[in-house]
């Protein structure tokens, strides 16, 4: 079906509601600008006066103009070399806010029996805390290297990019014994598209144009819980 506005700021395409939340078995979320209001890496960079430089790379990556997410992340993290580790806690305490509707959607999903997954190209310092704060089942993200109380400008281990996000969702579905089409994926940037592409329901939240165009549902106004309007 062609795209149509189901309600103000809630656009649906490629399927016809209503759906039952209980028909799904898993729901996966991006973190930065999806579950939370900020891009954490941009706010960390602000501690060393490099927010504009880092944010420009972040924005280009999320719009899909930089196709190699791993390279873009390494470039941005390199600019964080020398940032005191305490800056992470300051960003969490002073700048990070949970986006409207996130607790309501996650609680509704858990009540319906869904496994909840946070999968992020951001950082474990924030992702693990957001997971616990929202009562989610699991989180996967990137680990910043810290030596002598300072960020080294490097990421430890494999980088969680778009392909890794997809694989984490597929592995979750395999573990709980469901078809990927019984999953929901929610994101805002280009590196969420692979994950959204394997899910049975893809939701773009205040997303970049490329993501809005490809998602089954686009929430352009209001909170994440607006997706529940499509459910019975």
- Locate tokens 């501690």: which residue? 47
Residue 170 Cα distances to 52, 128, 176, angstroms:
35, 20, 10
Residue 147, SS3 per DSSP: strand
Catalytic residue among 23, 32, 71, 188: 32
pTM of the model: 0.94
The per-residue pLDDT for 107 is 98
d(Cα 97, Cα 99) in Å, to the nearest integer?
Answer: 6
Catalytic site includes residue 158: no
The per-residue pLDDT for 2 is 57
Confidence of residue 16 (pLDDT cuts 50, 70, 90): confident
Of the chain, the percentage scoring pLDDT greater than 70 comes to: 99
pLDDT in tens, 195-204: 999 999 999 9
Catalytic site includes residue 93: no
**Cβ contact 72:155 at 8 Å:** no
Task: Decide if pLDDT at 215 tops 80.
Answer: yes
pLDDT in tens, 122-155: 999 999 999 999 999 999 999 999 999 999 999 9
d(Cα 180, Cα 184) in Å, to the nearest integer?
Answer: 8
Catalytic residue among 23, 30, 42, 188: 30
């Amino acid at each position: 079906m062609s795209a149509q506005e189901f309600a103000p700021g809630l656009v649906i395409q490629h399927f016809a509601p209503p759906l039952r939340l209980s028909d799904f078995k898993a729901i996966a979320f991006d973190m930065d600008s999806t579950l939370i209001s900020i891009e954490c890496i941009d706010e960390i960079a602000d501690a060393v006066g490099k927010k504009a430089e880092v944010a420009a790379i972040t924005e280009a990556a999320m719009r899909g103009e930089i196709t190699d997410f791993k390279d873009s992340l390494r470039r941005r993290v390199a600019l964080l070399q020398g940032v005191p580790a305490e800056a992470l806690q300051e960003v969490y305490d002073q700048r990070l806010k949970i986006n409207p509707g996130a607790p309501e959607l996650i609680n509704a999903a858990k009540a319906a029996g869904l496994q909840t997954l946070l999968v992020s190209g951001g950082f474990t310092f924030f992702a693990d805390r957001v997971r616990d704060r929202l009562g989610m089942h699991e989180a996967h993200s990137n680990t910043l290297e810290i030596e002598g109380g300072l960020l080294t400008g490097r990421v430890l281990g494999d980088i969680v990019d778009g392909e890794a996000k997809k694989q984490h969702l597929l592995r979750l579905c395999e573990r709980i014994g469901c078809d990927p089409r019984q999953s929901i994926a929610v994101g805002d940037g280009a590196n969420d598209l692979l994950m959204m592409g394997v899910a049975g329901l893809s939701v773009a939240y205040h997303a970049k144009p490329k993501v809005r165009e490809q998602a089954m549902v686009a929430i352009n106004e209001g909170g994440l819980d607006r997706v529940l309007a499509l459910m019975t």
